[in-house]
Chains A and B, each alone.
Chain A
Amino acid sequence: MKKKIAAILASAAMCLGLCGCGETSTSSENTPADASNNTSSTADAAGTSGSTSGDASGADWDYIKDKGELVVGITYNMPMNYKDEQGELTGFETEFTNAVCEKLGVKAKFQVIEWNKKEIELKSKNIDVIWNGLTVNEDRKKEMLFSTSYMKNKQVTVVKAENKDQYPDTASMGALTIAFEAGSAGEDIVTGDTALANCKQVKSEAQKDALLEVKSGTADACIVDYTLAKAFTKEGSDYADLAVLENITNSDEEYAIGARLEDTTVIAKINAAMDELANEGKLAEIAKKYDLADALLVGGSSENTSGTASEPVSSVASEAVSSAA
């Protein structure tokens, strides 16, 4: 009898515990939505006045400024952020981030993350921005605020060089085993293209792991970013026996920086610093160093920059509205 009562009490306690968790999680789920509602109403005055929740817009920026460092979520990913032969972090994004942070007056701290946990890293404040060749898409706009797009990208297919003529389009790839990074733009292509509906999917932890799948023959093809594919398969590299195919249609994409939804100030500041760098020609200089000049969207020419310079606020506002909808 005693044991029965004990069991009943224990299960009651568990139920209470579970209910408690349920409540807290729903209320925390509400918070970002509230915040995005607030930002949509105050987005026009980005960074000037407080939002309705008493959580003044700019709170996230103050948080970063007080720390004195901007924690940047990255993965090792050539040519964006990677370790050179000496083990030093280098790459286009590394130099770009450092240049922007110098303008912002904070220190850049690079934190390696697992790419498929980037949203949770951002929300739990373990990182402050995602800045690693992050492709802008509608789903991600619900999770984060994007900066001005600074670089063009597209998804490409990588196969072994000896097979490169067999796959003129995605329809010819229907029966293949295709690797892609989990949570990447490549995954959207594979799941969205009806011609690829029957292919075997391999969800890798990182884009470079997808390349490794192809090299080792465990996958027939992989879908990765053009910039990464180009850097990895260049002559003399370990992946030189792979070939890049541009057989995917509708894959035009743009790279931008992602920040938390709660505060538009962080992105406004980053956009301003980016524009300054573009006007100084510094950004084009860095891009040239990593053979990415033709993909750059800001600072290519002077008219171009003035056009994008007026864009940030309106694009932030429209993103905030779309995320609230």
Chain B
Amino acid sequence: MSFTDIMKSLSDGFSVTLMIFGITLAASLPLGLVFTFGSMSKILPLRWLTKFVVWVVRGTPLMLQIILIFYGPGLLNWDLKFSRLNAVLIAFIINYSCYFSEIYRAGLESIPKGQYEAGQVLGMTKPQIFFRVVLMQVVKRIVPPMGNEIITLVKDTSLARVIAVTELVKAAEDIISHYANIKVYIYIAVFYLAFTALVTWLLHLAEKKLSYYSV
């Protein structure tokens, strides 16, 4: 297999990796906030339910969740069925929403009470205080821990291969086992490194842009 053929196969796999990464990130960033509201809610049953879900999702391996979501409905004879990629996306979105929600909660709880009180003194409504005063400060504080999770997500996409979704690692393994070409592992390492370098740089830019208080 020539180098161009290998690169073509790997790019196909990489596009699946990118798609899982992009869709998961786009969906779980807002969904995580919903989970945060749930886990900080004054309505007790809702709070318990959210905390229970977060506990289950964080307490079980993502790999297991992917397998259960994909094979579970069929084995229980439900009509509901997901395609392989959709099952992966659902598992990733729920999983990452839970992790993000805890980071958001840490961010929210780190905002001093005085900020809320100042808003009230100025006659702002609750949503106004949240969106105009609190949220931007939260965003600023959670960039480093979010960066951690986002970079982990890049590499976690390789779990999709447990239900035979051909992402980058699976694409590489198919080539390697057929042509005994170990170099392919190095190629995909470069793919991952290049992509995480890009993500790291974007996160750095975000952090710099948001550090408007420092001189």
In whole Å, how far is A62's beta carbon from the nearest beta carbon of chain B?
16
- Which B residues are CB-close (under 8 A) to A111? 164
Closest A residue, CB atoms, query B2: A85
Contact A239 B180 (CB under 8 A): yes
Contact A85 B177 (CB under 8 A): no
Bound together, the chains give a CA A211 to CA B81 distance in angstroms of 35
A209 within 8 A of B: yes
Contact B1 A28 (CB under 8 A): no
Bound together, the chains give a CA A28 to CA B73 distance in angstroms of 11
Selected from A24, A124, A208, A211, the residue in CB contact (under 8 A) with B73 is A124
How big is chain A's contact interface, by range?
A: 35 or more
Contact A28 B178 (CB under 8 A): no
> For window 1-44 of chain B, which residues contact chain A by CB distance below 8 Å?
1, 5, 8-9, 44
A125 within 8 A of B: yes
Contact A87 B5 (CB under 8 A): yes
Selected from B44, B52, B74, B164, the residue in CB contact (under 8 A) with A124 is B74
Q: How many residues of B contact A (CB 8 A)?
A: 30
Bound together, the chains give a CA A114 to CA B181 distance in angstroms of 21
A171 within 8 A of B: no
| Total A-B pairs, Cβ < 8 A | 67
- Which A residues are CB-close (under 8 A) to B52? 10, 13-14
Could you tell me the dominant secondary structure of chain B's interface residues?
helix
Closest A residue, CB atoms, query B177: A208
Bound together, the chains give a CA A24 to CA B76 distance in angstroms of 8
In whole Å, how far is B75's beta carbon from the nearest beta carbon of chain A?
5
- Which B residues are CB-close (under 8 A) to A121? 71
Task: Mark B169-195 against chain A: 1 for CB-CB distance below 8 A, else 0.
Answer: 000011011111110000000000000
Known A-B contacts A24-B76, A123-B74; the reply to A216 vs B182 at CB < 8 A is: yes
Task: Mark B44-79 against chain A: 1 for CB-CB distance below 8 A, else 0.
Answer: 100010001000000000000000001111111100
Task: Mark A233-250 against chain B: 1 for CB-CB distance below 8 A, else 0.
Answer: 000001100000000000
In whole Å, how far is A63's beta carbon from the nearest beta carbon of chain B?
12
14 more A-B residue pairs beyond the given contacts A6-B48, A83-B174, A124-B74, with a C-beta to C-beta distance below 8 A: A31-B77, A76-B178, A85-B1, A87-B8, A87-B9, A112-B164, A113-B164, A114-B164, A124-B75, A209-B177, A211-B177, A212-B180, A238-B181, A239-B180
Bound together, the chains give a CA A239 to CA B180 distance in angstroms of 7
In whole Å, how far is A208's beta carbon from the nearest beta carbon of chain B?
4
Contact B48 A10 (CB under 8 A): yes
